[in-house]
Amino acid sequence: MSSPLDPAVSARLKRTPDGLVCAVAQQRGTGEVLMVAWMDDEALHRTLTTRRATYYSRSRRQLWVKGETSGHTQYVHEVRLDCDGDTLLLVVDQVGAACHTGDRTCFDATVLLADA
């Protein structure tokens, strides 16, 4: 199955064996890291064309639009590809919680090391 993703973009992606690329969502303006998820070519294509963050759920094995059921949406302002081609950065406006637990970010719960 061919993807509608721009072939020049697709060629730069380094995917996991199951065809996914890591995607980091960051709050526009503050730089706060909100969450990490996964994208396949179709999820990236939809994100680029709709500006609604679309990811691939590894557990459900299907695409999901962030906030489609929860209302906690991500409007995408920028999508950047890292130098290695294996990670995407989405600069978003987050409405509501980013984490499925209801926390603002997925990185609120456990601090392993912090300044004293």
Q: Is 22 annotated as a binding residue?
A: no
Q: Is 86 annotated as a binding residue?
A: yes
CA distance 55 to 66: 7
Question: Residue type at 77?
Answer: H
CB-based burial label for 104 (10 Å; 0-12, 13-18, 19+): middle
Phi/psi of residue 45, nearest 5 degrees: -60, -45
Q: Is 41 annotated as a binding residue?
A: no
Q: Is 83 annotated as a binding residue?
A: yes
Q: Is 93 annotated as a binding residue?
A: no
**How many alpha carbons lie under 13 Å from residue 99 in its C-beta half-sphere?**
11
Q: Is 103 annotated as a binding residue?
A: no
Phi/psi of residue 22, nearest 5 degrees: -65, 140
As annotated, the binding site includes 82-84, 86, 99, 106
As annotated, the binding site for Zn(2+) includes 83, 99, 106
As annotated, the binding site for Mg(2+) includes 82, 84, 86
